Chains A and B, each alone.
Chain A
Amino acid sequence: MDTERLLAQLLCQYQDTPGGLLPLLQAIQEDLGYIPGEAVPAIARVMNCSAAEVHGVISFYHDLRTAPGGRHTLQVCRAESCQATGGRELEACARDLLGVDFGNTTADGVITLESVYCLGNCACSPSVRLDNDTYARVDREGLAGLIASLRQGAEDTA
């Protein structure tokens, strides 16, 4: 389905939902991978608010993005329980292995590196989340293995 039709359909679906702006934005991102700036005026019109308000909501939430991310998202937990079990080293290791800082995507477009503050996996820290899967007691080797398998997968499908 093209972007315009998809947007129209989602706008129709959420316009009468009480408090529907955030779920609408999440649904757009779920389908498109990000929220295109061009969509903001239509969102504002249908949800009966200003474009500034829509921008305000998008920019407030860490999950929402206005540009495409990588094919995969790697979140490294940077909160206390993971810090207590080598999380700070793991953060540095993720930067090293990917060659990008948090909030950025690798040059090949495969992986976006993000911070996360707690995955609720604290009994088996440190943790990372790769797309919708969480991994526990992750060390340098484990992280390197995960990243290598993503790169391999990207090459295979290329």
Chain B
Amino acid sequence: MSTRYFVPRDATARAVGADAVAAALASGVAEHNHAEIVRNGSRGAFWLEPLLEIEQDGKRVGFGPLCADDVPAILALEAHEYATHDRYLGPLEQHPWFAAQQRVTFMRAGLDDPLCLESYLARHGFEGLEHAVHLSPGDIVDEVTRSGLRGRGGAAFPTGVKWRTVLEAEAGQKYIVCNADEGDSGTFADRLLMESDPYQLIEGMAIAGVAVGADRGYIYLRSEYPDAWQVMHTAIAKAEAAGYLGQDICDSGRAFHLELRLGAGAYICGEETALLDSLEGKRGVVRAKPPLPAHQGLFGQPTVVNNVLTLAAVASIMADGAEAYAGLGSGRSRGTLTLQLAGNVRHGGLVEVPYGCTLREVLDTFAGGTRSGRPMRAIQVGGPLGAYLPESLWDTPLDYEAFAAAGGMLGHGGVVVFDDTVDMAAQARFAMAFCAAESCGKCTPCRVGSVRGVEVLDRIIAREEGARNLALLEDLCDTMTSASLCAMGGLTPNPVRSAIAHFPEDFQ
């Protein structure tokens, strides 16, 4: 009887001690025969990491969170005694935290060794690509359009429309660019996907290449993710060797070459045109639009720029059909929503749910309250450019339009919880300071406005002429919103204004 032990190799799992658990396991099972230790990806329940799963006779159960010292006692248990352990979690799929989710894009996350191609194939991997290579480019684009998929990086632009534009552009060379510069604080979905299911991203990019006639793709990965780099780097090499990338993908006669490029610590390179300049080896400076990247993108050629989750979703859309994907969601937000519970929460991690449930429902179901035990006061949704929401807005349904109507944005799905010790004036000041530090410098409202914003907020915080300086700040926010070249300067007023509007007591 063979036993398989799973300890994630994910960056967060390692940051909380998974390597020590794996080492304890390796020395503990050394004398047992037929034991295999798998370093899988994480399922995204980071509050349960380090997680150990044991699979025997087709039954897989979990224990967590563990430390290395817990391992010998667990190894000493017979299978029928597992449930007596105080860290026993049972089969993870049945755990309430997972049972309440609807995993589509993250269906495979944490189940296998992320680099094991056989495991990916056994779980219907590359079925979407195998299907796509037998379709005409126009039919693939139609399928993606019918699915209702919208960009997951934050802007929520319809993916099919973008692909159609590139497909119809006439050019000798086109590109697929994956934006893996996941810079928003409170987000880690792209990282989790790349570290736990890298072939899904590769498959999605190859499908995109076939769909628009691009034979070359780049993944622009931020340098803050060294683990993701290792996994993607190896996965690309293995996919190439297996014929899913390269000169003749899936024996279709079509080529798709994929290259991994590393960012260099600039938040602005998550903006698609700055990213393209960075990929060209230049300063990551924002470009004026038009021309759109779909017409003149990388090296001036028609380019699809999509987020990691957008491209990954394409793999399941092509495998299971547009209708299955479009059947999920609410309003014009189709499919599933990936939220990342972060900041001051007890149960931080990745949650995939259909669009349309409310922020409060998600928090009540998954977050487990604050880690500090104090009441929640403010929640920033959508990264550093997202609004701070007070409790009165937590019943807003989680879809793009409803959130925009409430003055917020879903962005990339980061949910950062603050307890009642937060100083919202300090958060507003940070928003401006972050913009000042990370502005590419091309447009004045962002480059200079953010510096002035910090100065005005310093005066407000010092209680100097409060009313006059608040009016001045409002005026400055207006200028930044309407005159900045991209979302960095244009949306920085979101956290500032929402902090003032919803938490005025912190500014008086």
**Residues of A near any B CB (own CB < 8 A):** 18-26, 47, 53, 56-57, 60-64, 77, 79-85, 88, 116-125, 127, 129, 132-137
Contacts and interface: CB of A to CB of B under 8 A. Distances in A.
A80 B224 contact: no
Given A23-B261, A85-B343, A121 B280 contact: no
A133 B14 contact: yes
Contacts of A64: 264
| Residues of B in contact with A, size category | 35 or more
Contacts of A63: 223, 263-265
Interface in B40-69: 46-47, 49
Closest 8 CB pairs of A and B: A123-B348, A79-B185, A21-B281, A122-B342, A84-B343, A61-B264, A123-B46, A62-B265
B264 A118 contact: no
Contact of B262 (A26, A47, A84): A26
Contact of B266 (A62, A88, A118): A62
A85 to B, nearest CB: 5
Contacts of B224: 116, 118-120, 129
B327 interface: no
Q: Looking at B190, B264, B266, B438, which has the most chain A CB atoms within 10 Å of its CB?
A: B264
Given A60-B284, A79-B434, A122-B187, 4 more contacts: A21-B282, A61-B283, A118-B186, A125-B348
B264 A22 contact: yes
Contacts of B440: 60
Contacts of A60: 266, 283-285, 440
Contacts of A121: 11-12, 15, 188
B344 A85 contact: yes
Contact of B11 (A26, A47, A120): A120
A141 to B, nearest CB: 16
B15 A80 contact: no
Contacts of A25: 264
25 contacts: A21-B281, A23-B261, A25-B264, A61-B266, A63-B265, A80-B185, A80-B416, A80-B427, A81-B342, A84-B342, A84-B344, A84-B416, A84-B422, A85-B344, A117-B185, A118-B184, A119-B11, A120-B224, A122-B188, A122-B414, A123-B340, A123-B341, A125-B342, A125-B343, A134-B11
A136 B265 CA distance: 20
A18 B266 CA distance: 20
Interface string B441-466: 00000000000000000000000000
Contact of A118 (B185, B284, B341, B437): B185
A156 B256 CA distance: 50
B497 interface: no
A85 B190 CA distance: 22
B419 interface: yes
Contacts of A122: 185-188, 340, 342-343, 348, 414, 416
A76 B503 CA distance: 28
Nearest to A57: B283
B371 A83 contact: no
B321 to A, nearest CB: 32
A19 to B, nearest CB: 4
Contact of B191 (A85, A120, A127): A120
Contact of B279 (A19, A127, A135): A19
Residue among A23, A53, A84 having the largest count of chain B Cβ atoms under 10 Å: A84
B430 interface: yes
Given A21-B282, A84-B417, A120 B422 contact: no
Interface string B299-341: 1000000000000000000000000000000000000000011
B199 interface: no
Contacts of B82: none
B125 interface: no
A142 to B, nearest CB: 11
A81 B265 contact: no
Contacts of A21: 281-282
Nearest to A77: B185
Nearest to B379: A84
A61 B188 CA distance: 22
Contact of B12 (A20, A117, A118, A136): A136
Interface string B263-302: 1111100000000001111111100000000000001000
A90 B376 CA distance: 21
Interface in B345-404: 345, 348-350, 371-372, 380, 384
Nearest to A24: B281
Contacts of A61: 264-266, 283-284
A33 B188 CA distance: 28
A22 B279 CA distance: 8
Nearest to A29: B264
A132 B226 contact: yes
A63 B225 CA distance: 13
A123 B281 contact: no
Given A23-B261, A62-B266, A117 B183 contact: yes
B16 interface: yes
Contact of A124 (B12, B185, B225): B12
A93 B440 CA distance: 30
B16 A124 contact: yes
Contacts of A26: 262, 264
A136 B15 contact: yes
Contacts of A20: 281
A137 B188 CA distance: 16
B182 interface: yes
A123 B350 CA distance: 8
A120 B225 contact: yes
Nearest to B45: A123
Nearest to B299: A18
Interface string B8-45: 00011011100000000000000000000000000000
Nearest to B388: A80
Contacts of B380: 80
Contacts of B191: 120
